[in-house]
């Protein structure tokens, strides 16, 4: 998706109330009333205005800035979690990159929810931000329409966008998942299970990488995948490891380190030797992973750098500077340790 702008736009690039009214076939005053005092208009009129809002990606602008050149000195940042160590590191990088500037951050927690992302974006865009930092490249149709209507820079973090004009900083989740799986295959493991939770876009891409490597080695077996939409926790990792051991796996690739930690603890509690009886690998290289016993084989992801580089890229574009790269691949590092 080209996020530099689409359709008829004015000023900051957002659809106007007048355009909503025209599409709905009502006056501007009626459109305003339908949005602010919906009980004062008919159900048919309200439905027409709401449909126009959806189609145009209209967001009310409380600040009502009339000049296209007006700068709010605000950057919107949306992440899926404020407690997950992965995203606290990303936010640290963003803060450090923005710290020397005069910009303020509006940080929102989407809680891995499309509906929450839509709500936060609609609210935060009313502050007329100069740019947006988003986690991931996959969003709901409504968010895609809103983003497509903007003429402010938008940088995707963690994943790499495919569009030539899109701005993104991250690494290939698919390649990382494939690399870890090939590591286990190269170590001689054959019944390699995959434990996935949360099932956000990053987990699903890692799972695709796992499947890709397993197919290439002639080892693919969907029955070895244990997946749940439940939020990732150490306790969940222990429960899912119990199910995975029943499948007769000789190795398990967990989609993140929290799950892998729980998997190892479960094995230790039940006399299952790691890696002698079963190997366990994780993803993200959290601080505890190197120091637990056995130390965890995992994928080291450049979380802080992603935040720092994404914010720096956004500031460059806001300042009118042409970036050397619009798609910045920071790569990843396989940390082979005792657990495999």
**pLDDT at 148 (0 to 100):** 85
Fold of 173-300: Rossmann fold (3.40.50)
**pLDDT at 2 (0 to 100):** 42
Indicate the pairing of strand 154-158 with strand 131-135.
parallel
**pLDDT at 12 (0 to 100):** 53
Question: Which residues have C-beta within 8 Å of that of residue 31, sequence separation ≥ 6?
Answer: 17, 20, 21, 24, 49, 52
Return the structure tokens found at 178: 């494939």
**pLDDT at 9 (0 to 100):** 41
Q: In the chain, where are the structural domains located? A: 69-171+302-332, 173-300
**pLDDT at 156 (0 to 100):** 97
Residues in a beta bridge with 74: 104
Long-range contacts of 19-23 (CB under 8 A, 24+ apart): 19/52, 19/56, 19/58, 20/49, 20/52, 20/53, 20/56, 20/58, 21/49, 21/52, 23/52, 23/55, 23/56
Indicate the pairing of strand 192-196 with strand 225-227.
parallel
Residue ranges, the chain, pLDDT below 50: 1-11, 64-69
**pLDDT at 33 (0 to 100):** 82
What residue has token string 């500031």?
315
Is the separation of the CB atoms in 63 and 127 below 8 Å? yes
Is the CATH code 3.90.850.10 the one for domain 69-171+302-332? no
pTM of structure: 0.81
**Measured between alpha carbons, how far is 140 from 118 in angstroms, rounded to an integer?**
8
Is the separation of the CB atoms in 231 and 240 below 8 Å? no
**pLDDT at 61 (0 to 100):** 62
- Domain pair 69-171+302-332 / 173-300, same fold: yes
Could you give the 3-state DSSP secondary structure of residue 12? coil
Taking CA 196 as the corner, what is the angle to CA 120 and CA 86, rounded to the nearest 5 degrees?
50
Return the structure tokens found at 286: 């959290």
């Amino acid at each position: 998706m080209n996020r530099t702008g689409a359709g008829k736009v004015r000023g900051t690039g957002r659809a106007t109330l007048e355009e909503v009214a025209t599409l709905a076939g009502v006056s501007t005053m009626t459109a305003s009333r339908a949005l602010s005092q919906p009980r004062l208009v008919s159900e048919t009129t309200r439905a027409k205005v709401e449909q126009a809002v959806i189609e145009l990606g209209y967001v009310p602008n409380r600040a009502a800035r009339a000049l296209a050149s007006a700068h709010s000195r605000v950057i919107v940042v949306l992440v899926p979690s404020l407690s997950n160590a992965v995203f606290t590191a990303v936010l640290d990088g963003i803060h450090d990159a923005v710290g020397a500037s005069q910009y303020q951050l509006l940080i929102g927690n989407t809680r891995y929810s499309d509906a929450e992302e839509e709500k936060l974006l609609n609210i935060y865009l009313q502050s007329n931000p100069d740019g947006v930092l988003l986690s991931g490249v996959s969003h709901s149709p409504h968010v895609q329409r809103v983003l497509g209507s903007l003429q402010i820079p938008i940088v995707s973090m963690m994943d790499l966008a495919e569009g030539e004009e899109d701005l993104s900083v991250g690494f290939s989740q698919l390649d990382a998942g494939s690399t870890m799986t090939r590591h286990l295959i190269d170590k001689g493991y054959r019944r390699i299970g995959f434990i996935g939770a949360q099932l956000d876009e990053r987990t699903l891409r890692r799972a695709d990488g796992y499947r890709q490597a397993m197919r290439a080695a002639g080892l693919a077996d969907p029955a070895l995948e244990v997946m749940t939409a439940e939020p990732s926790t150490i306790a969940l990792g222990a429960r899912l490891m119990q199910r995975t051991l029943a499948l007769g796996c000789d190795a398990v690739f967990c989609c993140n380190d929290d799950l892998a930690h729980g998997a190892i603890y479960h094995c230790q509690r039940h006399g299952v030797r790691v890696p002698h009886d079963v190997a366990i690998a994780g993803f993200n290289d959290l601080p505890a992973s190197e120091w637990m016993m056995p130390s965890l084989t995992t994928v080291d992801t450049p979380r802080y750098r992603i935040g720092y580089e994404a914010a720096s890229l956004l500031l460059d574009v806001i300042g009118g500077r042409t970036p050397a790269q619009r798609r910045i691949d920071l790569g990843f590092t396989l940390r082979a340790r005792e657990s495999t």
